[in-house]
Amino acid sequence: MQPFDAVLYIAFGGPEGPGDVRPFLANVLRGRRVSPERVEAVAHHYELFGGVSPITELTRRQASGLEAALEERGLRLPVYVGMRNWHPYLADTLRQMSADGITRAVGVIAAAHRSYSSCTQYRENVADARRSLRDAGVADVEITYVRDWHLADGFIGANASNIRAAIETLPPDVRAQAEVVFTAHSIPLSMAHRYPYERQILESAEAVMDRIGGRAWRLVFQSRSGRPEDPWLEPDVCDYLREAARRGTRAVVVSPIGFISDHIEVLYDLGVEAAAVARDVALPLARASAVNDHPQFIAAVADSVTDTVARYAAGRPLQIGVSA
């Protein structure tokens, strides 16, 4: 008998129309002191794209692809999507899973690199949602998480494939000299010191470059928020592009390796802001896609789920709270 009867795919969520933008941002920023002016500035980023973040649709496609990939491997596990900041919310998804008779699920958080905000916070959200089920007298759904997958063959391969495709969009005379600039969401140094986030991103980038070979590369950061006086991971991508142009770099390919979906922080921060800086300093820039629903990425997530099922084939996993 299988130790699990479903998969819970856990993601950030995003607005699906103009009317969703401010309610969505209220969810994201709940409990944080953010000025109304800053909220409106971020809302404008979404409005530039019609108030729609592609992350929600991409998450659905990732989950659908994962379910199909698992079935091809002989694992008939329905994949449920639960979002932290938008519909379907985690609490609603877990309630539906319980109603469907699901008792034990494999948890996959849609982030490849571990920090508090990218992984631990989601586990806390799941624990809170499970607690709400129990408080309401509803049957609990046990969640066991996959192991780290930032070096999974398919994740590395999908990023390498997308970088190669981006290189081909550059002018032919600069393609061979193009530098690969990997980006990830900046986090406070106080958080970075407690989690393997930066190390794991560097390991992913090194593995990708082993596939591509023969190019200069650099890891930079984007999408910083918080108080200006607090130290965060640097350098910022826009600052780095200016520096690269001063050094005489011929061209760059920007790869958002720290993100698995082309959501607004990728589309705006790289496709608008960073692209504008590159134009200002006459630096040819191509943006590689995030892994999105690339077949190699879907296979990597399926590998992680399959590994988890195999690990517990002989018995039920021990539940030990948020870190289970």
Sketch the domain layout of the chain as residue ranges: 6-149+295-323, 153-287
Q: What is the DSSP string of 97-146?
A: HHHTT--EEEEEES-SS--IIIIIHHHHHHHHHHHHHHHTTPPP-EEEEP
For range 161-177, the mean pLDDT:
98
Q: Which residue has the higher pLDDT, 319 or 16?
A: 16
What is 6-149+295-323's CATH number?
3.40.50.1400
**Rounded CA separation 130/90 (Å):** 9
Q: pLDDT grade, residue 225 (50/70/90)?
A: confident
pLDDT band at 181 (very low <50, low <70, confident <90, very high): very high
Task: Output the pLDDT for position 319.
Answer: 59
Region 47-74: mean pLDDT is 97
Per-residue pLDDT tens for 287-314?
999 999 999 999 999 999 999 999 998 7
Average pLDDT over residues 102-106: 98
pTM for the structure as a whole: 0.94
What mean pLDDT value characterizes the chain? 95
In the predicted model, is pLDDT for residue 322 greater than 80?
no
CA distance 14 to 41: 17
Residue 91 has pLDDT above 80, yes or no: yes
Say if 6-149+295-323 and 153-287 have the same CATH topology. Answer: yes
Q: What is the CATH class of 153-287?
A: alpha beta
